Structure 1
Amino acid sequence: MVRAGQKDVRGIVIAAVIIIAWFLLLAYLLQLPVNFTSPVTYLFVLLQTHLYTGMFITAHDAMHGVAAPGRPALNKALGTVAAFLFAYNWYPRLLPRHHQHHRHVATDQDPDFHHGSFWPWYFSFLKQYITWWQLLLMAITFNVLKFFFPIENVVLFWMLPAILATFQLFYFGTYQPHKGEHEPGNKHKSTTQSKNHVWAFLSCYFFGYHYEHHDKPYLPWWQLYKEKT
């Protein structure tokens, strides 16, 4: 329990754990001999994908000021680092777009919204957030990494998890909660997953509880499950 007047450091610790775990696991996997017949290889891909998703969720929490509450400089630093390590996303560019999403959810002014099916919406989503500078930096990084590590490791454990994480974030955090028509009384134009905290964490760090996030955006991801009824 955090006492009155005491700053809550739990968000800082959780953000640091995700960033450090992502880095340490990637460093290990880049030099791990790849065995394509072993299920462990694919479990590592899924684990690194989940940590990539956690990196973006950390940046997202920073956008709401809850990665390091009460410490705006540190909060921004954590968001900037987490976003940058996820395919060179630029936090100052993401920040206004995300708040625009919250202000104009599921309207033509919402950068995350698209009137269409999954694939057109996904590519519209990517166009909103991926720049040519990111693609250039990713290409440079790929060519540098393959000089030091086997190319199959770079593809399996650095490139593929980043791509899979964009699907994870998009499907559970944008498409599934905002697709279709919403009832007139649904002020956030969002649906929510059925209550299952294990699945909610594994699928997208509780962001399937999406109505709850829009209703209380000041809650960090690791507190969001408490709002699920």
Structure 2
Amino acid sequence: MIGQINDLSVRFGQTEVLKRVNLTLEQHKVHVLSGPSGSGKTTFLRALNRLNDSYPDCHTRGQIQLRLDGQSLQLESLPQNRLPYLRQRVGMVFQHPQLLPGSIADNLMLPLTVVAGLSRAQARERMKLGLEQAALWPEVADRLDVAAGSLSGGQQQRLCLARTLALGPQILLLDEPTASLDPETALQIETLITTLSRRLTIVMVSHSPEQAQRLGDHRLQFEQGRVVSVR
């Protein structure tokens, strides 16, 4: 077990989006969250690295315990100065690629030097590792200085994945990672997810029942802020 969630409720203003969710996350497994839009899936993902904290009207109750680097962390009591560490170890890739301005290299070097505090030499090594893990290195190795926005949609998604992987996560959060991709590129991403799950715990949102069946070691159905089934 790498995570235990107990009675997790999340409210934005007067709207309760998650309602007393109880779940266990297992190490090196793929957990696929399904359900209608607005059922709380993305809010649950964001709770796992406290990204919901960025919304001033968000109120969270309950307990989330994660085991990272061999130690148990209680997320609700984690001080603000520990959030950068949490978000490196519990990395998130969003549905639409969130590129930084600049080149392919800039998109990895900036987080590695500024967020992780690595030297440029260390950052270059981690950049290559992240791109290799995201199966993107062979496609960009000789053009790292070109604009990241010039990449195809699938390549942009894998660049965002590489940026997250380069920071050394132990839990990977994926919010509909194939939603805007063509079937061939989506299959590439699915294959990559399966490969990454051998060493990472993955929690992902998917609207495709077929994809959930293919990828999910555990499939969780959300409805109106509650988990109504676990398979």
> Normalising by the residue count of structure 2, what TM-score does the alignment of the two structures yield?
0.29
Q: Say which structure, 1 or 2, has more relative contact order (CA 8 Å, 6+ apart).
A: 2
More helix by share: 1
> Normalising by the residue count of structure 1, what TM-score does the alignment of the two structures yield?
0.30
